[in-house]
Amino acid sequence: MITMTDPAWRPSPRARQLWAINASLMWVPLFIAQLVWAVIDGKWTTWPHVAVFAASVVFAAVHIVVVPVWRYRVHRWEISDTAVYTLTGWFDQERRIAPISRVQTVDTERGPIDRMLGLSTVTVTTASSAGAVKITALDKDVADRTVAQLTEIAGRTWGDAT
């Protein structure tokens, strides 16, 4: 019987900041819309405005403060000579295992917030209908070493990546 263990490595500790900033940016339009609604309505303190604002603050606080910490505790990744392993999801968890023989491309992506925090995402594209395996929020140097390692391992693995 084979026992599956969780992948060994976590994303960068700065992943929590990245996820918190991204969550904050998602809430900005909602708070702007509430402000516009209150100005147009002219009644800032009526129960609908207060109730919607209070609920928004609670949900935003959970999304910005709690979720990044929870995601960080769950997200894992690992690379071996035979496969790329990821474990993601803070509520609905997904475990992905991509055999090295199926790797077609290895890419690095850095958005503006990633660059600001010195982070990168490594995307391993495979011959799978499930899509690419993403290792998110890695320190830039870790991502660069990971890409080099995957490229080297895939280069010495015989197979047609299909």
- In this predicted model, what pLDDT tens digit does every residue of 82-118 receive, in sequence order? 899 999 987 788 999 999 988 899 999 999 999 999 9
Strand pairing class (133-139; 83-88)? unpaired
Separation CA 46–CA 96 (nearest Å)? 49
Query: Span 137-150, mean pLDDT?
Result: 96
135, exposed or middle or buried, with CB in 10 Å at 0-12, 13-18, 19+?
buried
Model pLDDT, residue 122: 97
Give the C-alpha distances (Å, rounded to integers) separating 111 from 11, 47, 138.
16, 40, 13
